[in-house]
Amino acid sequence: MSTHFIRKKQIVEKILFEQNRVPVKAQGKAFCPSNIALCKYWGKRDSVLNLPWTSSLSISLGDKGAKTTVALNPNSQSDEIRLNGQWLSMETDFSKRLSAYLDLFREPSGLYFTIKTEVSIPVAAGLASSACGFAALVVALADFFGWCVSKEKLSILARMGSGSAARSLWHGFVKWEKGEDEEGLDSFAKPIDVAWPEFRVGLLVLTKAPKLIGSTEAMNGTVESSPWYKHWPSLVDNHLKLLLSALNKKDFEILGSVAENNALSMHALMQTAMPPIVYHQPETIALMHQIWHLRQKEQIPVYFTQDAGPNLKLLFLAKDEKTIVDHFPEIDLVKPF
Ligand code: PMV
């Protein structure tokens, strides 16, 4: 057993202490929304447990996410995984990552699982498919085994699969507290009590190609080699304060401009890593100019954010929906509330 596995397993044991370890039903089920960070998580203080250097804040994507079922795979010595209707080879990186995560929950030993997942956004194109995927897997496991644990604790378990999954346990605006604890027992997300029915997110998929470099490798590279990383935590503290206050006042222009600046700052940081990490494609930059043009020349309050991929997500309000759809007919519109 690797030391990484042992560290994760110790946390799982603390969280599931005295919980049921045999299934209570034939199938566990869950849906979790995907989420997009308005203030990004970029950099791990512990890359085994996915503990972040900073807190982060996101908006969940309503009915866009992962629907997962978990059952036993009784006749086999391995898990089986069906993603969007297709059985996956257990040799793909994706299957290996999922199976290694499931190793944490094979009690009594020898349990193997059949996992079926339908994901309603492109997988691994920087559209947060791992966030909703791991969150839905954990909630489906909780349903399958009948665990009586809080959503905060499930958020810790999901975080160990993928950091941003910690935030996908809830709808609406969600804040993930970085925590101070070495084992990360205080590093989980919580919902923010603000409903904003007019808030819109638009997904603009420029390419569905898988990302060139995974977020963990990119984060670690940035933390280790960007000369500017030391400024990131104080910038994030400032952005979080501004975003929370904008949410309370429903001040969309502040919210949008801080979220956009946060994403640009994160990408600027990673571009100064050695070797540099650049997720932009030429289409990404062209779109940014189009959005700035709309804002500056046509006074449309539309902002963007960008994750570990070339695609942009637009932020705007219901009153501008028609104009946005006219300008970007291919947009995938999300109503988070
Ligand atoms: O959870 P991960 O390891 O896929 O990292 C997510 C990183 C960003 O999407 C770029 C930022 C975030 O906070 O979601």
% of the chain surpassing 70 pLDDT: 96
| Buried-state track 209-234, b at ≥16 Cβ within 10 A, e below 16 | eebeeebeebbebbbeebeebeebee
Q: Is the CB of 41 under 6 A from ligand 1?
A: yes
Q: Which of 35, 123, 215 to mutate to test the pocket of ligand 1 (most atoms within 8 A of CB)?
A: 215
Residue 235: half-sphere exposure toward Cβ, Cα within 13 Å: 19
- For residue range 205-248, list pLDDT tens digits in order: 887 666 789 899 999 999 999 999 999 999 999 999 999 999 99
Q: Is the pLDDT of residue 328 over 90?
A: yes
pLDDT range class, residue 132, cuts 50, 70, 90: very high
Q: Which of 32, 35, 41, 93 to mutate to test the pocket of ligand 1 (most atoms within 8 A of CB)?
A: 41
CB distance 62 to 266 below 8 Å: no
Query: Which value, to the nearest 10 degrees, does the dihedral of the CA atoms of residues 5, 168, 155, 222 take?
Result: 50
Q: Is the pLDDT of residue 109 over 80?
A: no
- For residue range 172-211, list pLDDT tens digits in order: 999 999 999 999 999 999 999 999 999 999 999 887 666 7
**For the chain, where are the alpha helices, taking DSSP H only?**
3-15, 93-102, 129-145, 151-161, 215-225, 232-249, 252-271, 282-298, 321-327
pLDDT range class, residue 127, cuts 50, 70, 90: low
d(CA 243, CA 257): 10
Q: How far is the CA of 76 from the centre of ligand 1 (A)?
A: 34
Q: Measuring from atom 8 of ligand 1, which residue has the nearest CA?
A: 307
Q: Is the CB of 216 under 6 A from ligand 1?
A: yes
Distance in Å from the first CA to the final CA of the chain = 44
Q: Rounded mean pLDDT of 26-31?
A: 98
Q: How far is the CA of 127 from the centre of ligand 1 (A)?
A: 9
% of the chain surpassing 90 pLDDT: 88
User: 21 vs 114, which has greater pLDDT?
Assistant: 114
Cβ of 91: how many Cβ atoms within 10 Å? 7
d(CA 270, CA 222): 5
Q: Rounded mean pLDDT of 158-170?
A: 98
User: Rounded to two decimals, what is the model's pTM?
Assistant: 0.96
Token pair of 307 as six digits? 């994750």
Q: Rounded mean pLDDT of 141-161?
A: 98
Q: Which among 133, 7, 19, 1 has a CA at the least distance from the CA of 69?
A: 133
